[in-house]
């Protein structure tokens, strides 16, 4: 059918303008009573004076449009002529959930719409649908998107105690549905929702965009706000050492100059927005001011400005001052600046790992401070290493930020199973870290590897790090499988941040993740990652 001129008719259920294009969702009000085929089509036209509820005739060319080579295509009639022939009531929306079409809960790829997510949603493409008692599993982001499951997750697999849905081996949760709020249809300002919140209902047309099926909302019901669980900090004391980890997401003290950045979207004012103060509150009040604090994504002093600046002393000075002002420790820091523009991240930002420490409790052996180098870390942050004396005991901390998963295939895409774009690279990075650990002079000292691994708990890089000699325990695995998360990506709760401890010391360790960011709307987040703390009773 692609390239052929066709004629059809139906009722306009929604109209959406995106840049220069106007998209009309046209549905056969009667339908064909075949649940394996859609009763609607997306029409791209410059026709004017067409409104929702108009009966129309359509003539135009069939196309399959796609936004990227690894994305699915959407059948459209484009270009097209639309002519109004009358008015009609809108067809009843198809219920996705109880009392309607039950979404698939485990497999994404396949041919059977009763067993696989992609063909299930394809049968509803362009149609008017509704989700009742929509539980928010992915908070509202800056694009006005959120992710929900129907019936408050009653029939979903993988629901966690926060009301989110957790990615586990073999289950990427195809039942979660992206909802797109467009201010011309439903203003997202009124729907800045967190994980666990509930919408009485959301109705709209089913579309596919940027690697996800989505409901473009035309109406949304009332909101019930959730009360989320919280955890107290792990108490410290003379018999313990506590080590925290926090990806602070491109933190810098500079409100960038437009003339010195590649794009205006790179400009941010972390001081003016209160990010330093709020992150400091997290470290003090939620994490309990750990003795040692491993940080990731510390930027240089002028942030995203393109310059020769690589020092981050002003960034770290601003953060440590904010921590002290919040009632926390008087931290000192360890920082080894990267070579300019060679370790990835936001252009100009020179992100790196840095370590804060309270030298009244943990004294670094400065001769031990260094970074792990290996060809696998090309365009990636090098791990930062420091050995600390705590009384007459010793502890080595390795602060990591492995390669991003950026560039991977979308879950709802052409490539099945989706390819993780940097899995092999992160696996080699894990091997390099493990090789380095074998060179440490005292193999009896406990070692903690913490940070942003950009790796799910069941993926190969973490198997490399925890297996073999010396053995490590991933403390993430002490949480129940559905509670293992530090990040929410497209509605999937997942663990990217971990704490690994050498096996000989693991029996003396406690561990806790603090969900202060990932479950909240993006406008309320101080970072897209949640911090963690390990408490260790040292014994050599």
- Is the domain of 290 the same as that of 360? yes
CATH of the domain at 398: 3.60.10.10
How does pLDDT run across 406-461, given as a tens digit for each residue? 999 999 999 999 999 999 999 999 999 999 999 999 888 999 999 999 999 999 99
Stretch 107-118: mean pLDDT: 96
Report yes or no on 385 lying in a domain.
yes
Report yes or no on 98 lying in a domain.
no
Report yes or no on 132 lying in a domain.
yes
Give phi and psi for 60, each to the nearest 5. 180, -170
pLDDT bin (cut points 50, 70, 90) of residue 398 is very high
- Is the domain of 335 the same as that of 430? yes
According to the model, what pLDDT value does residue 443 have? 87
Q: How many domains does the chain have?
A: 3
pLDDT bin (cut points 50, 70, 90) of residue 3 is confident
- Is the domain of 264 the same as that of 219? no
Residue that is last in its domain, among 44, 61, 87: 87
According to the model, what pLDDT value does residue 142 have? 96
To which H or E segment does residue 436 belong?
helix 423-437
- Is the domain of 110 the same as that of 83? no
Between 101 and 505, name the one with better pLDDT: 101
- Is the domain of 363 the same as that of 505? yes
Residue that is last in its domain, among 190, 224, 258: 224
Please state the three-class secondary structure of 456-510 as a single string: CCCCHHHHHHHCCCCCEEEHHHHCCHHHCCCEEECCEEECCEEEEEEHHHHHHEE
CATH of the domain at 215: 2.40.50.140
According to the model, what pLDDT value does residue 378 have? 97
Report yes or no on 309 lying in a domain.
yes
- Is the domain of 341 the same as that of 420? yes
pLDDT bin (cut points 50, 70, 90) of residue 61 is very high
What is the rounded (10 degree) CA torsion for 413, 417, 421, 423? 150
Residue 517 predicted with pLDDT over 80: yes
- Is the domain of 218 the same as that of 271? no
- Is the domain of 446 the same as that of 335? yes
How does pLDDT run across 326-368, given as a tens digit for each residue? 999 999 999 999 999 999 999 999 999 999 999 999 999 999 9
Neighbours of 434 (CB within 10 A): 19
Q: H helices within 326-411, ranges in order?
A: none
- Is the domain of 372 the same as that of 424? yes
Report yes or no on 527 lying in a domain.
yes
- Is the domain of 461 the same as that of 334? yes
DSSP classification of residue 67: S
- Domain span at residue 23 reads 5-87
- Is the domain of 81 the same as that of 143? no
Concatenate the DSSP letters of all residues of 148-189 into one string: EEGGGGTT-SSB-TTS-EE-BTTB--TT-EEEE--TTTS-GG
Report yes or no on 92 lying in a domain.
no
- C-alpha 463/C-alpha 492 separation (Å) is 22
Stretch 203-207: mean pLDDT: 98
- Token couple for 85: 């022939």
Report yes or no on 134 lying in a domain.
yes
- Is the domain of 203 the same as that of 289? no
Report yes or no on 348 lying in a domain.
yes
Residue that is last in its domain, among 87, 113, 131: 87
How does pLDDT run across 224-276, given as a tens digit for each residue? 999 999 999 998 888 899 999 999 999 999 999 999 999 999 999 999 999 99
Cα Rg of the chain, angstroms: 26
pTM of the model: 0.96
Stretch 87-115: mean pLDDT: 96
């Amino acid at each position: 059918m692609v390239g052929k001129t066709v004629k059809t008719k139906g009722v306009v259920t929604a109209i959406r303008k995106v840049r220069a294009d106007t998209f009309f969702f046209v549905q056969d009000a009667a339908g064909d009573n075949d649940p394996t085929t859609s009763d609607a089509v997306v029409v791209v036209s410059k026709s004017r004076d067409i409104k929702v509820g108009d009966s129309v005739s359509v003539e135009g060319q069939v196309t399959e449009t796609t936004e990227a080579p690894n994305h699915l295509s959407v059948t459209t009639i484009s270009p097209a002529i639309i002519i109004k022939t009358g008015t009609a009531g809108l067809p009843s929306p198809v219920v996705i959930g109880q009392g309607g079409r039950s979404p698939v809960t485990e497999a994404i790829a396949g041919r059977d719409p009763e067993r696989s997510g992609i063909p299930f949603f394809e049968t509803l493409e362009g149609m008017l649908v509704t989700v009742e008692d929509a539980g928010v599993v992915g908070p509202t982001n800056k694009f006005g998107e959120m992710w929900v499951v129907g019936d408050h997750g009653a029939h979903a697999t993988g629901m966690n105690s926060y009301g989110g849905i957790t990615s586990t081996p073999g289950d990427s949760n195809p039942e979660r549905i992206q909802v797109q709020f467009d201010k011309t249809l439903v203003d997202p300002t009124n729907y800045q929702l967190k994980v666990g919140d509930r919408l009485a209902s959301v109705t709209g047309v089913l579309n596919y965009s940027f690697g996800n099926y989505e409901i473009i909302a035309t109406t949304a019901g009332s909101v019930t706000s959730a009360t989320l669980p919280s955890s107290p900090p792990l108490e410290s004391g003379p018999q313990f050492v506590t080590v925290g980890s926090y990806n602070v997401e491109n933190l810098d003290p500079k409100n960038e100059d437009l003339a010195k950045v590649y794009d205006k979207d790179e400009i941010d004012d972390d001081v003016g927005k209160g990010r330093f103060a709020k992150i400091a509150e997290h470290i003090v009040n939620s994490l309990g001011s750990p003795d040692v604090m491993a940080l990731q994504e510390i930027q240089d002093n002028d942030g995203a400005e393109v310059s020769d600046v690589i020092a981050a002393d002003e960034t770290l000075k601003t953060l440590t001052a904010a921590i002290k002002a919040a009632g926390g420790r008087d931290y000192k820091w360890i920082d080894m600046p990267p070579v300019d523009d060679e370790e990835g991240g936001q252009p100009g930002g020179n992100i790196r790992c840095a370590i804060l420490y309270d030298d009244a409790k943990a004294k670094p052996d400065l001769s031990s401070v260094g970074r792990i180098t290996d060809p696998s870390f090309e365009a990636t942050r090098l791990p930062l290493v420091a050995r600390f004396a705590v009384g007459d005991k010793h502890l080595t901390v390795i602060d990591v930020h492995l390669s991003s998963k950026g560039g991977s295939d979308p879950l709802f895409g052409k490539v099945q199973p989706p390819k993780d774009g940097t899995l092999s690279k992160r696996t080699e990075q894990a091997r390099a870290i493990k090789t380095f650990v074998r060179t440490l002079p005292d193999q009896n000292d406990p070692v903690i590897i913490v940070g942003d691994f950009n790796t799910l708990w069941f993926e190969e890089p973490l198997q490399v790090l925890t297996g073999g000699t010396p053995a490590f325990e991933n403390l993430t695995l002490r949480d129940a499988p559905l509670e293992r998360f530090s990040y929410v990506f497209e509605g999937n709760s997942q663990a990217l941040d971990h704490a690994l401890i050498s096996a000989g010391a693991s029996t003396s360790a406690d561990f806790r993740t603090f969900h202060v960011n990932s479950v909240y709307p993006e406008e309320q987040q101080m970072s897209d990652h949640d911090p963690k703390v390990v408490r260790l009773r040292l014994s050599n």
